[in-house]
Amino acid sequence: MDTKLQELKRHLQEVSDLDSAAALLNWDQTTYMPPGGAAARGRQIALLAQLSHEKLTDPAVGKLLDDLRSYEESLPYDSDDASLIRVARRNFQRAVKVPASFMAALSAHMAESYEAWAKARPQNDFASVRPYLEKTLDLSRQLANYFPGYEHIADPLIDYLDYGMKASTIRAIFSELRSQLVPLVEAITSQPPADDSCLHRTFPEAQQIAFGTDVIRCLGYDFERGRLDKTHHPFMTKFSLGDVRITTRVDEQDLGNCLFSMVHEAGHAMYEQGIRMELEATPLAGGTSSGVHESQSRLWENIVGRGRGFWEHFYPKLQAAFPDQLGSVPLDTFYRAINKVQRSLIRTEADEVTYNLHVMLRFDFELMMLEGTLAVRDLPDAWHARYKADLGLRASDDKDGVLQDVHWYGGYIGGVFQGYTLGNILSAQFYAAALKAHPEIPAQIARGEFGTLRGWLTEHVYQHGSKFTASELLARATGGPLNIEPYIHYLREKYGALYKLN
Ligand code: ZN
């Protein structure tokens, strides 16, 4: 059995290495590559995607997985080996349903589509990306249809990123959450808006990056196993457990933009950096779902990074970094500013309370496009109409409308947005469980100490990588299933105090 397991691991390590090489090319494309490199880069990434897919779907892998079944059954469910075989089998069974040539075509199209979007967005030119998006929708449906027997055509796509979830489950969670959020948004926005002018003075880029770097180092992001670069749309990427990179963007007239995106991406990265080294280069060496991944970024960004205690520690340091801009601004004014709730147009800049409304409408649009009830050509108008209905605002152009997010232009359509809201819900569940075990955490955060919280997360979430599904992980860490109550409670407490709601 041991030789068969070693053979499986060697095979999967090659899959992982090919994927990491593709991720590196992708990182380069979105950070330093000159525009002239686009065409060749698309081809190169597509080749690696095809090779990885061929290697993963090699019949020899299927044979090894069959041969290892009795060994797997002899092991405890949560052992590394049983988990490796189980997750590898799931990936294999999914991958063999999709032809390698399709994966290559999809990947090549995504690279071209991303380039088209990167040019189109600043020029507010939806017409130029429309053919790409139409092809993306076709390919997305084709991908889903490799998995017949679904309840909703989005289900197989949702399954890629949030394994075990379905459109119907997510719709139910979202509608329950929505019924709680809408009155809260109403109650807050009927009051005079918070004054956030202190965030919109001029904050030079170098100082913003330096401050953000100090903050995330303090939270626990390991620069010996990571680095920070600039990009249009911040993200985290990983080439091995020893190389987990993050990117950010800087707006000199908006202090929150760079800082909170750095904390957010560092949250993703700490999850990956916290995975046990024994899982390196296996299918277990990554976060388990988009919802759980996002729970970690948002826990650090929002629950910690936009919390009062966090700024009791960091605000004097921020004032020292920007004495002219913030020296005379009291902590309370700053705290209200970074938690300003308002109906807005841009998802990535939305506050915690309205954020999920941005996600829900995207999720609905994905379902409608895949069902065929919304055509790509009608998407820009549908977008404006839904923003008007849900957030009371209409963007003056598509740049801040349907072109604002990279997702549908750099990936397939279906299942790519729900993780943000699932992540918000889960972040509150994980944090509540950590607090139950360690009630001293808030006081520690106010002293700039994050080790206890990070330690709890490492023990209950990070170290396991993908050994457990999201629901298994949640049950082990919190003792129960997904539940919106801790999140609603968190929002009510925090914003109830900020806006003096009853
Ligand atoms: Zn994220």
- Strand pairing class (228-230; 243-248): parallel
DSSP state at residue 307: S
Q: Is the pLDDT of residue 301 over 80?
A: yes
- Same domain for 245 and 329: yes
Q: Is the pLDDT of residue 502 over 80?
A: no
- Same domain for 196 and 106: no
Q: How many angstroms does the Cα of residue 14 sit away from the middle of ligand 1?
A: 27
pLDDT reported for residue 248: 96
**Whole-number Å distance between alpha carbons of 260 and 311:** 13
Evaluate whether residue 327 is within a structural domain.
yes
Residues 6+ apart with CB under 8 A from 162: 170, 289, 290, 291, 415, 418, 419, 422, 470
Closest CA to 281 of 238, 237, 246, 245: 238
Contact status, residue 371 vs residue 413, Cβ threshold 8 Å? no
pLDDT tens digits along 271-296? 999 999 999 999 999 999 999 999 99
Contact status, residue 355 vs residue 298, Cβ threshold 8 Å? no
Q: What are phi and psi of 424, to 5 degrees?
A: -60, -45
Closest CA to 150 of 138, 160, 137: 160
pLDDT tens digits along 186-205? 999 999 999 999 999 999 99
pLDDT reported for residue 115: 87
Q: How many angstroms does the Cα of residue 300 sit away from the middle of ligand 1?
A: 11
- Same domain for 174 and 233: yes
The vertex-372 CA angle with 367 and 373, nearest 5°, equals: 80
321-345 core/surface letters (b: 16 or more CB in 10 A; e: else): bbeebbeebeeeebbbbbbbbbbbb
Last residue of a domain, one of 70, 94, 123: 123
Q: Is the pLDDT of residue 177 over 90?
A: yes
Which CA distances in Å does 65 have to 19, 72, 82, 130, 149?
21, 9, 11, 43, 24
pLDDT reported for residue 385: 97
Mean pLDDT across 235-253: 97
- Same domain for 115 and 175: no
Last residue of a domain, one of 66, 93, 123: 123
pLDDT reported for residue 104: 82
**Whole-number Å distance between alpha carbons of 366 and 387:** 15
Tell me if residue 248 falls in helix, strand or coil.
strand
**Whole-number Å distance between alpha carbons of 502 and 496:** 7
pLDDT tens digits along 321-378? 999 999 999 999 999 999 999 999 999 889 999 999 999 999 999 999 999 999 999 9
pLDDT reported for residue 183: 94
Evaluate whether residue 109 is within a structural domain.
yes
pLDDT reported for residue 371: 97
Q: How many angstroms does the Cα of residue 294 sit away from the middle of ligand 1?
A: 5
Residue 424 belongs to domain with CATH number: 1.10.1370.30
- Same domain for 334 and 278: yes
Residue range of the domain that includes 342: 167-355+415-498
Catalytic residues: 265
Q: How many angstroms does the Cα of residue 371 sit away from the middle of ligand 1?
A: 27
pLDDT tens digits along 142-158? 999 999 999 999 999 99
pLDDT tens digits along 386-399? 999 999 999 999 99
Mean pLDDT, all residues of the chain:
96
Q: Is the pLDDT of residue 23 over 80?
A: yes
pLDDT reported for residue 39: 82
Evaluate whether residue 408 is within a structural domain.
no
Q: How many angstroms does the Cα of residue 261 sit away from the middle of ligand 1?
A: 9
pLDDT reported for residue 108: 85
Residues 6+ apart with CB under 8 A from 267: 219, 296, 297, 298, 299, 300, 301
Q: How many angstroms does the Cα of residue 316 sit away from the middle of ligand 1?
A: 28
- Same domain for 214 and 109: no
Mean pLDDT across 19-25: 97
**Whole-number Å distance between alpha carbons of 330 and 195:** 12
Evaluate whether residue 117 is within a structural domain.
yes
Q: How many angstroms does the Cα of residue 288 sit away from the middle of ligand 1?
A: 14
pLDDT reported for residue 417: 97
Evaluate whether residue 204 is within a structural domain.
yes
Last residue of a domain, one of 123, 154, 178: 123
Q: How confident is residue 418, by pLDDT bands cut at 50, 70 and 90?
A: very high
- Same domain for 283 and 186: yes
- Same domain for 448 and 315: yes
- Kind and range of the H or E run holding 163: none
**Whole-number Å distance between alpha carbons of 467 and 78:** 7
Evaluate whether residue 468 is within a structural domain.
yes
Q: How many angstroms does the Cα of residue 349 sit away from the middle of ligand 1?
A: 13
**pLDDT > 90: what percent of the chain?**
93
pLDDT reported for residue 107: 86
Mean pLDDT across 496-502: 89
pLDDT reported for residue 348: 87
pLDDT reported for residue 459: 98
Q: Give the count of alpha carbons within 13 A of 163, CB side only.
A: 17
Evaluate whether residue 388 is within a structural domain.
no
Q: How many angstroms does the Cα of residue 144 sit away from the middle of ligand 1?
A: 24
Sheet holding 228-230, edge to edge: 228-230, 243-248, 236-240
Residue 373 tokens, joined:
């009830």
Evaluate whether residue 446 is within a structural domain.
yes
Q: Is the pLDDT of residue 404 over 80?
A: yes
Tally of domains within the chain: 2
